[in-house]
Amino acid sequence: MSRIGVFICHCGENISRTVDVERVAQEVGRLPGVAFSTDYKYMCSDPGQTLVKKAIQEQKLSHVVVAACSPRMHEKTFRKAVEAAGLNPFLCEMANIREHCSWVHENREEATVKAIDIVGMMVERVKKNRILPTITVPVTKRALVIGGGIAGIQAALDIADCGHEVILVEREPSIGGHMAQLSETFPTLDCSQCIMTPKMVDVANHPKIKLYTYSEIELVEGYIGNFQVTIKKKARSVDEDKCTGCGVCMTKCPQKKIPNKFDQNIGMRTAIYVPFPQAVPNTPVIDRDNCTWFKTGKCGVCQKVCGPGAIDFEQQDTLIVEAVGAIVVSTGFDLYTIAEKPKGSPIKGYGEFGHGKIPDVIDGMTFERLASASGPTGGKILRPSDGKEPKQIVFIQCVGSRAREKGISYCSKVCCMYTAKHTMLYHHKVHDGQAYVFFMDARTPGKSYDEFWRRSIEEEEAVYIRGMVSRLYQKGDKIVVMGSDISVGVQVEIEADMVVLATAIQPQKGADALAQKLGISYDKYHFYSEAHAKLRPVECATAGIYLAGACQGPKDIPETVSQASAAAAKVMALFSRNQMEREPIVARVREAGCVGCFACKKVCAYGAVEEKEIRDRQGNLIKVVAYVNPGVCAGCGTCQATCPSKSVELDGYTDEQIIAMIEAL
């Protein structure tokens, strides 16, 4: 026979104002199985908890129901108190008579009757509660960081500096990401390369960081604390151990006219190349699509001139398996292109801007390369079409962003600031030039940001026109910009030499495919979703996977670095223990009833369901059943709702418990 203790909380006046708590305690006290019931002003306070503990011991209680606020608020508090008094914490349940009752009703009589019902239901439920043992999972104290931009670099360095091993995987031949492409950074105008490259070198030299560049994630298996990750290391055609980075191969390569993606295809590179001189690692890679040897079987000049004999045309892609306990995803962003989009895509492109076919209409990143001292023009602002210096330059903000009718409704967050920076860089380099900016409104909520934006107008003479541009077209060697100035209500036409578009920030291409490998969720734009928008901003809903940088949403550098360090702190918290404990609210399969249809496996969003073979003593296979890995299960209960034979149940939320509650009504 159960000896249940029921504790009714007044919550100051929050509950007792509309619910007659004394009557609830009296009536519930008469229910079968209830040995003790009482009320108290603040049950969550120290004297309140002591009341619960004392009652457990003095009344020899077997189960506890606390009728108070939402379990989200204080379930942990009371379960701890119950545990301290010597009961299993999962024999304690909360009846929510605040959010579900007193707060939403006015009639005292009706609210009191409802409160009695709610508590009565929980009394019946708690009778069916089982003792649940805490689950412990071993933790592999190595981290995987995916993406070697500033977010990944920062997260990797922070984790490695704490003494844990880090595997850093980068898709491109060098780490550095987009930040390495930038010329100067707002709001201080310090050179991006100068603050970025030392960090890149730190990564390369760190004894705890293992770097895989030109590599991609092939497969992710396992769960928090115990992931197995398969990494595809693409054939570089250069032996990294032998190569000294002397660069002779690149100077001798006869293929010299290949557009360099790092320079936004304005600068040229060779077929064997490093994307930029400060690349880490400084080991070239052969672009097999453009290499004469791979196309025709002739040439091989690089092989002939390479002193250490590092060129290896026969190199193959290799697969490497690494065991890690946590994963930081920092795959970054890509810029929206205004070119025509294929049918079916919600993003429409910009036909009114010629779909990107006017050569001197460039995007913000291309302008960064033009302004960069190490860029294709050596830092001179020159037109891609004819190499002339533009004297009239127009910047257009919110291209793609905040344009629902074009398919993207969000704000890309960094464009107001980088456009202000562009006008300054332009003014510093072209003294007799004039910059115009078309903008909707300037969004500059960061430390020293608004001052920076004001400076572009007040000191650097940029002319800001509030309004949007309806059309761009080529007229001779000018680009006609037709727009509106809505602050004075007139149409504006500017004959510009160059136009720079602040195009929207989008997640990297393939972000969705990677998310599917990792089992993490993403929004309709393919930005990765955090577990909670406010309170868990760097964690994924999938345990053990964390987010850093623009893969989660548009971000500037300071914010990206902060988030990367936050993700690293989360990883370090996980690594601070050898075993991790987790709540035992997980699904359990009743193997006798399971027919192995695996409907549960199909619906499990966390990849927690595995296939388990049942064998007899001779080792003959009897059947294959579902097995829920308690380390991965998030306790959502979808499998329970799906199972056609009712063979999987969520501990703490079994059908038996739910039915008992309904029958109590």
Partner 1 sequence: MGKPLNYSYYPGCSLHASASEYDLSTRELFNVLGIGLTEVPDWFCCGATPAHNVDELLSLALCAKNLELADKVEGDMAVACASCFSRLKTAQHVLGVSDVKRTQVEKAIDAPVKLDSNVKHLLEILAKDLGLERLAAAVNKPLSGLKVACYYGCLLTRPSDVPNLDCAEAPTIMEKVIEAVGAETVAWTHRLECCGANFTLSRPGVVIQLTNAVLESAKAAGADCIMVGCPLCHGNLDIRQKEIEGVYNTSYGLPVFYLTQLIGISVGLGADKLGLDAMMVNPMPLLKEKGLL
Q: Which residues form the interface with partner 1 (CB under 8 A)?
A: 340, 348, 350-352, 354-355, 405, 471, 473-475, 480
Return the number of the residue (252 or 348) whose C-beta is nearest partner 1: 348
DSSP annotation of 333 reads: E
Report yes or no: 188 and 267 within 8 Å, Cβ to Cβ.
Answer: no
From residue 450, give the alpha-carbon distance in Å to each of 227, 237, 353, 417, 513: 44, 49, 30, 9, 38
Which lies closer to partner 1 via its Cβ, residue 234 or residue 406? 406
Give min distance, CB of 351 to partner 1, in A.
Answer: 3
Between CA 323 and CA 591 the distance in angstroms is 30
Residue 252's φ and ψ, nearest 5 degrees, are: -95, -15
CB of 384 to partner 1, least distance (A): 21
Per the listing, tokens 């009703």 go with 105
| C-beta separation of 167 from 210 below 8 A | yes
C-alpha to C-alpha distances, 138 to 224, 329, 459, 574, 619, nearest whole angstrom: 9, 22, 59, 11, 29
Closest-CA residue to 328 (of 512, 544, 578) = 544
Environment class of residue 277 by beta-carbon count within 10 Å: exposed (0-12), middle (13-18) or buried (19+)? exposed
- What are the helix (H) ranges across 248-399? 248-252, 292-296, 301-305, 364-371
C-alpha separations of 562 from 157, 204, 229, 548, 566 in Å:
13, 22, 26, 9, 6
Q: Which is nearer to partner 1, 71 or 354 (CB)?
A: 354
User: If you ran DSSP here, which 8-state letter would residue 444 be given?
Assistant: -
For residue 525, the one-letter residue type is: Y
Q: Which is nearer to partner 1, 354 or 558 (CB)?
A: 354
Which residues partner with 519 through β-bridges?
none
Q: How far is the CB of 416 from partner 1 (least distance, A)?
A: 25
Cβ distance to partner 1 smaller for residue 385 or 521: 385
In terms of CB distance, is 451 or 473 closer to partner 1? 473
Longest dimension (CA), the chain: 95
Minimum gap (Å) between residue 653 Cβ and partner 1? 40
Q: 102 in helix, strand or coil?
A: helix
Query: In whole angstroms, how close is the CB of 591 to partner 1 at the nearest point?
Result: 52
Nearer to partner 1, 228 or 345 (CB): 345
Nearest-approach distance from CB 402 to partner 1, in angstroms: 16
In the bound state with partner 1, the residue whose beta carbon lies nearer, of 403 and 414, is 403
- Between 349 and 549, name the residue whose CB sits nearer to partner 1: 349
CB of 479 to partner 1, least distance (A): 11
If the CB atoms of residues 46 and 405 are measured against partner 1, the closer one turns out to be: 405
Nearest approach in angstroms of CB 405 to partner 1 is 6
Tell me the DSSP string of 520-564: --B-TT-PBPPSBTTTBTTB-SSTTEEE-STTSS---HHHHHHHH
Query: Which CB atom, from 61 or from 338, has the smaller least distance to partner 1?
Result: 338
CA torsion sign for 531, 534, 537, 539 is: negative
Q: How far is the CB of 341 from partner 1 (least distance, A)?
A: 10
CA-nearest of 575, 565, 552, 574 to 156 is: 565
Cα dihedral sign for 527, 529, 533, 535?
negative
Which two structure tokens, joined as six digits, stand for 70?
Answer: 């939402």
DSSP code per residue over 111-128: HHHHHHHHHHHHHHHHHT
For the CB of residue 475, give the shortest distance to partner 1 in the complex, in Å.
7
Least distance to partner 1, CB of residue 395, Å:
21
Name the residue nearer to partner 1 (CB basis): 358 or 597.
358
HEC assignment per residue over 217-269:
EEEEEEECCEEEEEEEECCCCECCCCCCCCCHHHHHCCCCCEECHHHCCCCEE
CB nearer partner 1, residue 136 or residue 474: 474
Q: How far is CA 294 from CA 8, 172, 203, in A?
A: 78, 20, 32
The residues with which 479 forms a beta bridge, in sequence order, are 474, 496
Q: How long, in residues, is the chain?
A: 665
Q: With respect to partner 1, which residue has the nearer C-beta, 245 or 346? A: 346
CB of 524 to partner 1, least distance (A): 17
**222-231 as b/e, with b when 16 or more CB fall inside 10 Å?**
bbbbbbebeb
Q: How far is the CB of 336 from partner 1 (least distance, A)?
A: 16
**Residue 410: CB minimum distance to partner 1, A:** 19
Q: 63: Cβ–Cβ under 8 A, 6 or more apart, which residues?
A: 2, 3, 4, 5, 87, 91, 92, 93, 126, 127, 129
CB atoms within 10 A of CB 197: 18
Minimum Å gap between C-beta 474 and partner 1 is: 8
Q: By C-beta, is 210 or 471 nearer to partner 1?
A: 471
Residue 400 or 433 having the CB closest to partner 1:
400
Tell me whether residue 289 or residue 493 sits nearer to partner 1 (CB atom): 493
Task: Report, in Å, the least distance between residue 493 CB and partner 1.
Answer: 10
Query: What tokens were used for 112?
Result: 């009191």
Shortest approach of partner 1 to residue 266 CB, angstroms? 25
Of 206, 209, 203, 208, whose CA–CA distance to 177 is shortest? 203
